[in-house]
């Protein structure tokens, strides 16, 4: 397995940094090497935030932001109009968008849609889409198992909250297009 680079886009308060951390924990549980890297300055709630995760089967020796991701995960579709989420996406890369509308196109990559907002509202009762989107990522990438995601979510949030978040992630895994 070559190094896999993942970039997360969201808004402050949506758990973008936590997404990368939980993904890294999940990979670690599978014996892979992973690092989660936040990228934010004096942002405030609602401002665009980026986070990164690197995954490899051998130790990772680079510690910088990811300029050419294999996967881009967008937690808030309103960012598609504000920033270039496709910047640097590798040819044949995957863009996973939290959206019920399937309107976004990517000439050099594959676009996947999942309505994580509705799923999270139904299962959790709140618009916490970050962990739900990890389920969609797991399906699209086939890099991390649902079992490892569940363990990582429970480790990070505790049993009750981790189980609810995993339920939303599992549904996104099953319905991502």
CATH for 118? 3.40.920.10
Question: What is the predicted pLDDT for the residue at 41?
Answer: 63
Question: What is the predicted pLDDT for the residue at 167?
Answer: 95
Residue 82 lies in domain: 4-175
Helix axis angle, 130-141 to 159-175, nearest 10°: 50
Question: What is the predicted pLDDT for the residue at 131?
Answer: 97
pTM for the structure as a whole: 0.94
Q: H or E segment at 175?
A: helix 159-175
Question: What is the predicted pLDDT for the residue at 130?
Answer: 96
Question: What is the predicted pLDDT for the residue at 42?
Answer: 61
Q: What strands, in cross-sheet order, belong to the sheet with 33-39?
A: 33-39, 48-56, 4-11, 71-74, 94-98, 110-114
Q: 82-125: per-residue pLDDT in tens?
A: 999 999 999 999 999 999 888 888 888 899 999 999 999 999 99
Rounded to 5 degrees, φ, ψ at 130 are -60, -45
If you average pLDDT over every residue of the chain, what do you get?
Answer: 92
Residue 39, Cβ density class (10 Å: 0-12 exposed, 13-18 middle, ≥19 buried): middle
Percent of the chain at pLDDT > 70 equals: 97
Tally of domains within the chain: 1
The DSSP code for 79 is G
pLDDT tier at 157, thresholds 50, 70, 90: very high
Question: What is the predicted pLDDT for the residue at 52?
Answer: 95
Q: 30-63: per-residue pLDDT in tens?
A: 999 999 998 766 666 778 899 999 999 999 998 8
Percent of the chain at pLDDT > 90 equals: 79
> Comparing 16-25, 36-45, 127-136, which segment has the lowest mean pLDDT?
36-45
pLDDT tier at 65, thresholds 50, 70, 90: confident
């Amino acid at each position: 397995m070559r190094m896999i680079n993942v970039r997360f886009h969201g808004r402050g308060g949506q758990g973008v940094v936590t997404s990368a951390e939980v993904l890294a924990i999940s990979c670690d549980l599978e014996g892979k090497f992973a690092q989660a890297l936040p990228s934010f300055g004096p942002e405030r709630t609602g401002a665009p935030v980026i986070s990164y995760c690197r995954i490899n089967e051998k130790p990772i020796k680079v510690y910088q932001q990811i300029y050419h991701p294999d996967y881009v995960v967008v937690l808030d579709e309103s960012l598609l109009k504000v920033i270039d989420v496709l910047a640097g996406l590798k040819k044949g890369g995957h863009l996973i968008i939290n959206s019920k509308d399937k309107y976004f196109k990517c000439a050099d990559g594959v676009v996947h849609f999942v309505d994580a907002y509705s799923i999270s509202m139904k299962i959790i009762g709140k618009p916490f889409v970050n962990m739900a989107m990890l389920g969609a990522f797991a399906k699209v990438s086939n890099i991390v198992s649902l079992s490892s995601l569940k363990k990582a979510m429970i480790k990070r949030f505790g049993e009750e909250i981790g189980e609810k978040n995993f339920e939303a992630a599992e549904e996104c895994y099953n319905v991502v297009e």
